[in-house]
A and B are shown apart, each in its own frame.
Chain A
Amino acid sequence: GSTGAVHDEL
């Protein structure tokens, strides 16, 4: 399924 990762680094 979709993890929908949030990437918090630039």
Chain B
Amino acid sequence: MNIFRLAGDMMHLFSIIVLLLKINATRSCRGVSLKTQELYAIVFVCRYLDLFTSFISLYNTTMKLIFLLSTFTIIYWMRFHKVIRVTYDREQDTFRYQFLILPCFLLALVLNNEFSAMEVLWTFSIYLEAVAILPQLVLLQRTNNIDNLTGNYVFLLGSYRALYILNWIYRFMTEPNYRQYLVWISGIVQTIVYIDFFYYYIRSWRNNEKLSLPA
């Protein structure tokens, strides 16, 4: 565990905490994409199947459980909570995510390190995570008044991805035989997806303006 990896994981954790707090405190999930949250739920379920097969560390297991539990909590709130579900932007959150899920799954069937159920599902989760934020970014574009917490949520998620790239560079330089090309390429794609958002986020922060993304 290096400092970049730890910082990346913490950003990921903070992003989820920010989202949980925002929804819970304001009793509103306005601007939050249920589709992205559901994609993350699929990502975490497929990736963390190894909770049942291998133990890496208490840290690893705890984080996996937190990510799973928090994502399902958010989905539950958005779908079923009697106050919160009313605030969901159903008409705006129209990204057809089956067009992300199917290609990612087919790609994982073809491009993987080992043709086993566990490994294909793990690879699928890597590909799907790279594009899972897209429904959220599209929804932000359609939202006129992006509240600070939603903006911060996406910014923290993007920071987590950027820090993971630094983690991979560090590991590549310090660990013999450490390489995972599929993860690296997907991770770079995933980070590129955020670049546009980062630009507008930092600009609005510097100019002390409310964040808005051009359509």
Contact = CB atoms under 8 A, between A and B. Distances in A.
Interface residues on B, range: 10 to 19
B50 A10 contact: no
Interface string B115-136: 0100100100000000000000
A3 to B, nearest CB: 5
**Interface residues of A: mostly helix, strand, loop or mixed?**
loop
B63 A7 contact: no
B35 interface: no
A2 to B, nearest CB: 7
A6 to B, nearest CB: 6
A10 B183 CA distance: 11
Given A3-B113, A5-B114, A5-B119, 4 more contacts: A2-B114, A3-B114, A6-B50, A10-B12
Interface of A: 2-10
Interface of B: 5, 9, 12, 47, 50, 54, 56, 60, 63-64, 67, 113-114, 116, 119, 122, 164, 167, 183
8 contacts: A2-B114, A2-B116, A3-B114, A5-B113, A5-B119, A6-B50, A6-B56, A10-B12
